[in-house]
Structures are given as C-alpha cells and as structure tokens.
Structure 1
Amino acid sequence: MRTIITFIIVFGVLVIVHEFGHFFFAKRAGILVREFSIGMGPKLLAHMGKDGTTYTLRLLPIGGYVRMAGLEDEETELNPGTPLSVELTSDNKVQRINVSKKIQLPNSIPLELVEADLTNTLTLTGYINGDERKAMTYAVEHDATVIEESGTEVRIAPKDVQFQSAKIGQRILTNFAGPMNNFLLTILLFIIMAFVQGGVPNYDTNQIGQVQADSPAAKAGIKSNAEILTINHQKVSNWDDLTSEIIKSPGKKVPMTIKQGGQQKKITVTPRTVESNGQKSGQIGIQAYMKTGLADKFAYGFTQTGNMFVQIFKALGGLFTGFSLNKLGGPVMMYKMSSEAASQGIITVISLMAFLSVNLGIVNLLPIPAFDGGKIVLNLIEAVRGKPLDPEKEGMITMAGFVFIMVLMILVTWNDIQRFFF
C-alpha cells in the first residue's frame, strides 16, 4: 500500500505540474482550455469555472490532462441526425447544448440536428421534436456550453479562442511550458531536499560528516567531522578519492591517516561488504560533510538540476551508440523505483521525484511528433515558412509520432515486466 500511494503521488504530481504549465500559458495567450482534469478515466466531479474551463476529478489517480480548444480531438461530434436539446437565452440564442442521455435540461427544446457550426458562424439548425417540417436555425452564444455524452459540460470552441489563433510565439511558449514546469519543479524539489536533510553534501573536501553508529568507521575510532588525510597510503583531497578506495576494498583491511581533535593518527578500517546487482563493494558508514548555509541550500537546487541534465544527455547519447530497451523504463520501472524509494524514506522519495521530473521535461522536448518538442518544431517550421503546414499533413506526422511512442511504450513496458517479475 505504501508503494502504491508513493507511486500515485509521484506520478500524479509530475504530470499535473507538467499540464499546469500548458494550462497557465494557454490562458495567458487567450487560448480556451476547455477542461483541466486531475486523474484519468471516468469522471467523479466536475465544476465549470468563470474562466470557461471545466475542472474535473477522475477515478484513476494517475496524472491528468488539459484540453485546449482546437488542439485535441474533440469528444463531441455534432453530426447531422444527432438527437440533442438546446437551452435558449431570453433573446433566443443557444446558451447550452445537451447531447447526453444522462442529463435532462427541463426548459430545453429537443432537436434533431441538421447542421452546426460552432467555430465560425456560431449557428445551429435542427428539426424541432424531429419534425422535418419545423427546421429552425439559432444563433449560438460565443460562450455557450455543450454537455457531452459523458455528462461533462465544456465551453464550445470558437475560432478566436482556438490554439491556432494565438500568435506563433505564444504557441511555442505554451508547448514549452510543460517541460519548463518540470524543470522548475526539479529545482524546487532539490532545494526542499537540502532543507530536509539539513544541508548540502560537500564533495570537494576531505572532511567527512556524520558517522553511523556501530559502523566499521565508528569501530575504528573515526568521529563525525574528522578529516581523512590518506587511505591505502594515497593522499585524499575530496569525497571521490575517499569513496573510490573504500568501494574497491570490501572485507579488506584499509590503512588510513585521519585528523580529529587537532591530532593526526593512523588507523585501520575494514569496510563491510555490500552486494548490489551481483557486484560487491565496500562501505564504512560515513556521510559526506554537509554545508548548512542558506545560500548553499538554495544553490543546491540549481547545481543538482544541472548535474541531472548532464547525466540524462549522456544517457540519451548512449541510446544512439548502443540502443537497448534495458536503458529505457516505463510505468513498471517507475513503480519499482517508487517501491524502493518508499522503503528508504522521504529524502529518497523527493530525490526520485526530482530525477523523474527532469527526465519527463527533457524527454518531452525531444523533437518527436506528438511530444511537446515535436510540436515546437512544427511551430518553428510555420514561423520560417510564414504559414502553417497543411492540417492533413500535420495530422499524419503527429499520428506517426503517436504510433511510434505507443509501440515503444508497449515494448518498454513488456521488457520491464520481464526484467522485474520473471
């Protein structure tokens, strides 16, 4: 249960923060966000805000999404012959359209649809009570709503509030905002982690931090804040010098020179043996020295995020030089990592969330159709050409990217299942 809750929180926060980036900048650009959903699947609650966005809470607590006018495949198809009902204003303009069988509008007029244009002319024509002798054409209000078959009520999407009507720079920023939010979240999470753990590890010194009780280091007489001068007769100047010698000496006696209490002394430590993924390594139970300054804690958010960028780009480069599904991970991998993090405490969970957040941001910026990066590339092509691509061609490119991602996700997920459960 702890693993499931951790997975839901981690995955949910990452996706919602990502989608909120798109939501916020779409609003600033004048693009109508028809729906902002927390969760997926069947709707539990819905509320239409004064801003025209319907906020929904859905059954499956994994992620969320935004529906921007003119950008997503519309769930509501008003085809000729569709039975519906309309609610009118005092001046006979349509203010609500109901195509759902789950909801009844008491003061509405039942129609069999002949045609509707809710994008340009904002008109709707239908036969009253299905009587083909009584066709009526109504003007539709700009901010009218439609109740979809699922029962969710959303605004209609006139041309002027659609995604493509925004300026090219605004569209690029809206597409970039999701990954940008993930990067900002990563910085914030590392800052929080620095405060929770009481400081920032300083790897550029030979001074150590805390020593675990009953550890090999404690039994050898090493105390917190001691300086490690030499190990295996090699001079130590930073954390990497120290740990590299210890890691390769499991179960072996390691001579050291330390300085503590203003005095130098020689000791011998025997690292305990730790096995991970079939590899044995040594540990002596010490932590890196912590910098506790306020500026250090805030700077940690930026430096660690930068380090993550470097590591991820190196990993992406490795995919091109030697592709393997084992280098990728999907929801199963995330669940496995959540399980391990949940068992190790809040700091590990925060670290995992930061790692996944920056990954989500970078991967979404890859120039693959259906990803934010692919959409930005199409925006840039439009800016250079001075006109957008043909909608049919753009749709085909996006669909090809979507199919590629779905096939890859299926392969990655199956590979993860094989790795972790068989």
Structure 2
Amino acid sequence: MSVIVSLIYFILILSVIVIVHEFGHLIAAKKFGVYCKEFSIGMGPVIWKRQKGETQWSIRALPIGGFVAMAGEDEEGEEEKLEIPFERTIPGIKKWKQIVVMAAGAIMNVLLAWVLFIGVSAYQGQVVIDKGAVVGDTAVGQPAEKAGIQKGDVIVEISQRDTHETINSWTDVSSFLLYNQGEVTLTIERDGNRMQVALTPYQDKETGGYLLGVTQGAGSYEVKDISFLEAVKYGTLEMFDGMTTIFESLGKLLQGIGLNNLSGPVGIYKATAEITQQGWISTIAFTALLSVNVGIFNLLPIPILDGGRILILVLETITRRKFSEKTQTAIMMVGLFMLIGLMVFATWNDLVRLFM
C-alpha cells in the first residue's frame, strides 16, 4: 500500500474518532443549554456551511478532526458581542454539568468502539475463544527449541523475578513479554506433568515484539458460531478487554515499566498502514480499539486534556472556590509541557523502532 493511501486512511480514522468525540461534547452542551456557535468537520478555511438553529454546521478545508465552539470556552469576549447570557456559557452552568460536558467526548468514543466491536462480531458470525497457550511447531535454533519446549506443551504460567502471571491465552504471553524483557521462566504442562524452563525471548525487528520462537498450536483456540444477540455479548467483552488492557498498560507506565513501548503519531500511522492492508474488518476493529484509547487518554488527569479540566472542576467543588485565571493558565501550561514531553518521547520511540 502506498504511503499516500496509508496517510489518507490514517487521517480518516483519526478524524472519525475526533469528530465523534467533539459531537459528544456538542450533545451534552446543548442538553444543558450551552450556546454552541459552530460544529465543524475539519480545520482551516470554511468551504461549506449551513446554519441550523443557533449553530453553524461547517466543513473546513483541512480534513483533520473537527471541533465544537461552545460559549465561554476559548472565545474570550465573543459572548458579550453576541449578547449571550452567562448561564448559557460553559462557566455559567453548574459544575456537575460542566463535568458531564467534558466527559461526554470520551463517553462517545467508548460508545463508538462498542458499536464497532458488536458490528464486527455480528458480521463475522463467529468468535475465537481462547483455550490456552498450546505450543505448535518450534523454530530450529530459537529460544523455545533450545530450552526443550515441544509441540503440544501448554504454557500455564510465566514469571520473571517477583512478577508472576497465570496464562490463559497466547495474548497473555505476548503481553507479559512486552513489558518484561530479558530471561523469563515458563511453567509448562506436558502429559499431565508440570515443569519449568528458563529462556530469553528475542525481539522481532519488524513488530518490535518479543518472541519465543514457536507457532500457536491448534488447541489454543476454538471457533464458535454466534447469533446477533451473542455478538452483542462478545462485542461488549471485546471492548472491556481493550479497556482493561489500557488501564493495565497505564499502571505499568506509572511504575516505569514498558516506557520503551510507548508509541506516538508515527507508531499509530505505522500500525494503521499495516492493519488497513488486512481488510476493512480489521480496519474497523482497529478503529474501535483506537477510539477506546483516545477516550480513556482524554480522561487522564492531565491539565489541557478533558480529564485535567474535570480535575480542576472537582477541586473547585471540594474547596468551594474558583481558581483564578492566572492559576488555571499556569496549570494548563504545565499540562501542555507534560503532553508535549510525552509526545516527543513517544515519537522518539517510534523513530528508533522505525530505523533500528
């Protein structure tokens, strides 16, 4: 797939996620009577617009995301010029309503992911149910073969120093190896007996993941036909699995584990280019997972993100005092520098992986 086509997919996917996010803010703001001057798809110069009620709906020249212009937010002096009552601005509504408006974008991202996951499950009409980490073939000269692992062995536990994890699927194995590099100890089950083997996984240059040098055995999974109602169930489980993985990853990052795995825009672009080559079903599933990530990331208590603004509102409610504009600006600047630093670090990781 050409770079241009991959870039178009990348922009479209992120734009859909951002537009849905902003639409969530719009719905909640209108529900609480906040004046919304404009809802735009894209950025830059306006190429199409239509006034519907008090809100202008527009399409702009640059197809990158979108925004909603709410009174009292990033438009100093605009309310007075349009003679908008204070109670119809973001600062003019109750704090709990402001929190709902700020959180609505992330909620819409999660709802989008939920619908997409259900849609993918329903279209496929089948789900793959994990049955364990059963070893298939072992590659000659690779860590698993050297350690004596054989076809049919089942990995039931993996550990490294004080970290132990029970294994229920190959996904568990991959996740553990991603955050715990170096020598690991596998507890394997063979003919009803358990034994432990130590080995050091190697890093795959293409994916950046750490591998044992084995293929997935046929007994690792079961393919099950499902009805639409079951698709709702499995789509929901898929969404919650994605959310759980994100929270676990954030927890590890806070402990300083897996910082070298952090990805930024370059990494997302690379993943998009690879996923879109696998077909539209894989692309939709990837969009769903990315939407969950964006939603949860936006709720992190980092100033300048929705979560940071919610944190300020909560603190103001607890202290029963409003932070001054100077204090809020200082907090937002700290958050901005934190976010920029995080993005620079993540992009550096991406570039290192790309050219290593």
Give aligned pairs, total.
298
Distance in 2, Cα, partners of 1:378 & 1:233: 53
Which residue of structure 2 lines up, in the alignment, with residue 19 of structure 1?
A: 22
Hey, what does 2:243 align to over in structure 1?
309
**What is the deviation of 1:57?**
1.4
Is 341-350 or 398-407 further displaced after alignment?
Answer: 398-407
Any conservation in 2 of the 1:2–1:342 contact (CA below 8 Å)? Answer: no
Which structure carries more strand by proportion?
1
Matched, 1:392 2:326: yes
C-alpha distance 342-374 of structure 1, shift in aligned 2 (>3 A): same
Cross-structure match for 2:95: 168
Residue 232 (structure 1) aligned with residue 152 (structure 2): yes
Q: Is the 8 A contact 1:332 1:416 kept in 2?
A: yes
Q: Specify whether residues 396 and 28 from structure 1 end up closer, same or farther in structure 2 by C-alpha distance, changes over 3 A only.
A: same
> Are 2:299 and 1:365 aligned?
yes
CA deviation map 1:228-283 (0-9, x unaligned): xxx738799xx9579999xxxxxxxxxx99xxxxxxxxxxxxxxxxx764733314
Question: Aligned letter for 2:354?
Answer: F
* C-alpha displacement of 1:9: 2.2
Shift of 1:382: 2.1
1:418 and 1:21 map into 2 onto residues whose CA distance is 36
Cα distance 1:56–1:323, how it changes in 2: closer, same or farther (>3 A)?
Answer: farther
Larger Rg: 1
**Residue type at the aligned position of 1:66:** V
The answer for the alignment partner of 1:95 in structure 2 is none
Q: How does 1:375-386 map to 2 (within 5 A)?
A: 375-386=309-320
- Structure with the largest fraction of helix: 2
Question: Is 1:200 matched up with 2:133?
Answer: no
Question: Residues 386 and 288 of structure 1: is their aligned pair in 2 closer, same or farther, counting only changes over 3 Å?
Answer: same
- Residues 369 and 317 of structure 1: CA distance in aligned 2, closer, same or farther (over 3 Å): same
Give the letter for the 1:169 counterpart.
W
Structure 2's unaligned 5+ residue stretches are 138-150, 157-166, 174-189, 192-203
Give the Cα–Cα distance (whole angstroms) in 2 for the partners of residues 358 and 73 of structure 1.
Answer: 29
Shift of 1:288: 3.2
CA distance in 1, matches of 2:311, 2:322: 12
Instruction: Select 1:297's aligned residue among 219, 225, 231.
Output: 231
* Residues 144-159 of structure 1: pairs in structure 2 closer than 5 A: 157-159=84-86
Deviations, residues 68-94 of structure 1 (Å, cap 9, x unaligned): 1111144xx79xxxxxxxxxxxxxxxx
Q: Which residue of 2 aligns with 1:188?
A: 115
Which structure 1 residue ranges, 5 or more long, are not aligned? Answer: 79-117, 123-140, 143-156, 207-215, 217-230, 246-255, 258-274
Report the TM-score when normalising by structure 2: 0.73
Shift in Å, 1:339: 0.4
- Give me the whole-angstrom Cα distance separating, in 2, the residues matched to 1:242 and 1:359: 22
Within the candidate set 49, 56, 59, 1:57 is matched to 59
Q: Distance in 1 between matches of 2:130 and 2:346?
A: 35
Cα shift at 1:4 = 2.3
Looking at structure 1, the residues matched to 45 and 352 of structure 2 have their Cα atoms a distance apart, in angstroms, of 30
Q: Residues 350-370 of structure 1, C-alpha deviation per residue, up to 9 Å, x if partnerless?
A: 221111111111111111111
Measure the CA separation in 2 of the matches of 1:48 and 1:244.
51
One-letter identity of the residue aligned with 2:92: S
| 1:285-326 deviation line (CA, Å, top 9, x unaligned) | 796312312221001122111111221111111112225653
2:309 aligned counterpart, secondary structure: helix
Cα distance in 1 for residues equivalent to 2:244 and 2:57: 37
User: Which of 3, 10, 31 lines up with 1:7 in the alignment?
Assistant: 10
Letter in structure 2 aligned against 1:345: G
Q: Which residue of 2 aligns with 1:222?
A: none
Query: 41, 48, 51: which is aligned to 1:48?
Result: 51
> Is 2:301 the counterpart of 1:356?
no
Tell me, in whole angstroms, the C-alpha distance in 1 between the residues paired with 2:315 and 2:333. Answer: 18
- Mark the CA change 1:390 to 1:235 in structure 2 (over 3 Å): closer, same or farther: closer
For 1:337, the equivalent position in structure 2 comes to 271
Over 4 Å off, 4+ runs: 233-236, 239-245, 275-278, 283-287
Aligned-CA RMSD value: 3.4
Alpha-carbon separation, structure 2, partners of 1:235 and 1:344: 29
| Alignment partner, residue 70 of structure 2 | 68
Choose between structure 1 and 2 for higher RCO, CA contacts under 8 A separated by at least 6 residues: 2
2:73 partner letter: L
Which position in structure 1 is the counterpart of 2:196? none
Cα offsets for 1:33-91 (capped at 9, x unmatched) = 222121123332233321x22222122212111121111144xx79xxxxxxxxxxxxx
1:203–1:289 contact (8 Å) kept in structure 2: no
Change in Cα spacing, 1:23 to 1:235, as seen in structure 2 (3 Å) is: closer
Distance 2:170 2:347 in 1: 39
Give the 3-state SS of the residue equivalent to 2:295 in structure 1.
Answer: helix
When residues 418 and 40 of structure 1 are mapped into structure 2, their CA distance, relative to the original with a 3 A threshold, is farther
Q: In the aligned structure 1, how far is the partner of 2:319 from the partner of 2:350?
A: 43
Distance in 2, matches of 1:166 and 1:381, equals 17
Q: Which residue of 2 aligns with 1:29?
A: 32
Q: Percent identity?
A: 35
Amino acid corresponding to residue 152 of structure 2 in structure 1: N
Counterpart Cα distance in 2 of 1:40 and 1:415: 28
- Contact 1:201–1:289 (CA under 8 A) maintained in structure 2: yes
Evaluate the alpha carbon distance shift between residue 407 and residue 202 of structure 1 in structure 2; reply closer, same or farther with a 3 A threshold: closer
